[in-house]
Structure 1
């Protein structure tokens, strides 16, 4: 990553319908245009988890228009940091990339209380990530 370039982060989970969507939305919300944000899944669902949409709306983040996307090599190549969401995905590995695996419960099939806890844990992890990505003003 060059000095002038924005850091780029890719969040990956199996269905790209819950964890990775919430993480991408948190990072975009907190970083604005200072970070390039992507998310994808190895086996994308047809739609984003409606409970995830609802609990993100509770914190003022709208993910209702997001669509799950398939993971491809180019998304990994274009990212500085690749974060898998504890789902055992096999990701293409490129030299010079930073890889993290966040062990998180899958929100699929869970109620709002459980998904809120996942949302909040993701938000906390994204804040720590962002602190390490961007220089202090």
Structure 2
């Protein structure tokens, strides 16, 4: 049985910053009305602690998340695939909606540099939710 919920996959290289923050925002704003996945083409060992701290400032806890390897099955199972700098390493399946979000990479950045990335992601998530009929 297929889910009636829209499904979104966030993909970046390390699945340690941008894609995890995006998944956290979507989970926070949409609750269980959207199926959420995130993955990386070259997953890191752990989530970027500065991304965790930036999200904690706005009441979103992503500390328990772990970077995951991007598998073609995750792309195939998703309605919308949002890439964040993974380029040609992202698999392509016809019939999927793809968006490429140009976002600075929070890797190696301090909290002051990550906050605007976090806030930019929130704005994009809110726009996405209005487009797919989720709650904001």
Alpha-carbon distance, 1:88 to partner: 1.8
1:96 aligns with 2:95: yes
- For residues 74-128 of structure 1, the C-alpha deviation after alignment (integer angstroms, 9 at most, x for no partner) is 0000000000013424222112100000000000000001100100000000000
Point out where structure 1 has 5 or more consecutive residues left out of the alignment. none
Distance 1:117 1:92 in 2: 29
- The residue number in structure 1 matching 2:110 is 111
TM-score, normalised with respect to structure 2: 0.94
| Number of equivalent positions | 134
Cα–Cα, structure 1 residues 135 and 62, in superposed 2: closer, same or farther, change >3 Å? closer
List aligned pairs for 1:1-137, cutoff 5 A.
5-134=4-133
Q: In 1, Cα distance between the equivalents of 2:29 and 2:6?
A: 14
Q: Give the Cα–Cα distance (whole angstroms) in 2 for the partners of residues 127 and 101 of structure 1.
A: 16
5+ residue gaps, structure 2, are none
* 2:39/2:70 contact within 8 Å kept: yes
The TM-score, its normalising length taken from structure 1, stands at 0.94
For residues 56-79 of structure 1, the C-alpha deviation after alignment (integer angstroms, 9 at most, x for no partner) is 000000000000000000000000
Structure 1 ranges of 4+ moved more than 4 A: none
CA distance in 2, matches of 1:87, 1:44: 11
Structure-2 change in CA distance of 1:59 and 1:97 (3 Å): same
C-alpha displacement of 1:134: 1.2
Secondary structure at 1:9 match in 2: strand
